[in-house]
Amino acid sequence: MPHVRSEIFIPKPPAQVYAYAKDLVGLKPYLKDVESLRVLEDTGSHSKSEWVAVAMGKKVRWIEEEEWFDAELRNRFHSPEGDFDVYRGTWTFLPEGEGTRVVLELEYELNIPIFGGLLQKLVLKLMQENCDGLLQGLKDRSLAA
């Protein structure tokens, strides 16, 4: 199963960066590949949202459930339904010097007919770029505040 790992340094305190990551509505404007993002449920420690992104001109949809562990400044997420056969991962927010090292890890399986076996390497590249873009969006959001 493909695995993607992305990291970024953000010169803000970990608790602050973590709070920006939890605020999906506030983060959405910084996510260029995400066409729509709708929060369906948010209890603070658990959220459920509906995502639509565009990859190679095709819309990819999924429901994402997230568990937020405030004391550890980490998150675990998965998709129980949508275009992904498997979609799960974690975010960690680690203190580093005067800022935060954010690490995003994602495992996925995406078997859409147009994405046949020959295109799986391209899909992996797109997923890496998407994760990198998500972290860059979080950094931009954090620095804009």
Q: What is the structure's pLDDT at 117?
A: 61
Q: Which domain, by its residues, includes 122? A: 3-144
pLDDT one-digit tens code per residue, 110-124: 765 655 566 777 778
Residue type, 39: V
- Are the C-beta atoms of residues 90 and 75 closer than 8 Å to each other? yes
Do strands 74-82 and 3-10 pair parallel, antiparallel, or not at all (unpaired)?
unpaired
What percent of the chain has a predicted confidence (pLDDT) above 90?
Answer: 68
CA distance between the termini of the chain: 37
Q: Is the pLDDT of residue 25 over 90?
A: no
For residue 123, give the CATH number of its domain.
3.30.530.20
Indicate the residue type of 144: A
Q: What is the pLDDT of the chain when averaged over all its residues?
A: 91
pLDDT at 121: 78
pLDDT tens, residue by residue, 46-78: 999 999 988 777 888 999 999 999 999 999 999
Give the CA-trace dihedral at 134, 66, 56, 9, to 10 degrees: 20
pTM attached to this predicted model: 0.89
Of 43-57, 77-91, 103-117, the least confident: 103-117
- Count of domains in the chain? 1
Predicted pLDDT at 114: 58
Residue 112 confidence (pLDDT): 59
Structural tokens at position 127: 């997923």
Question: HSE on the CB side for 92, CA within 13 Å?
Answer: 11
In the numeric block, the tokens 């931009």 are attached to 140
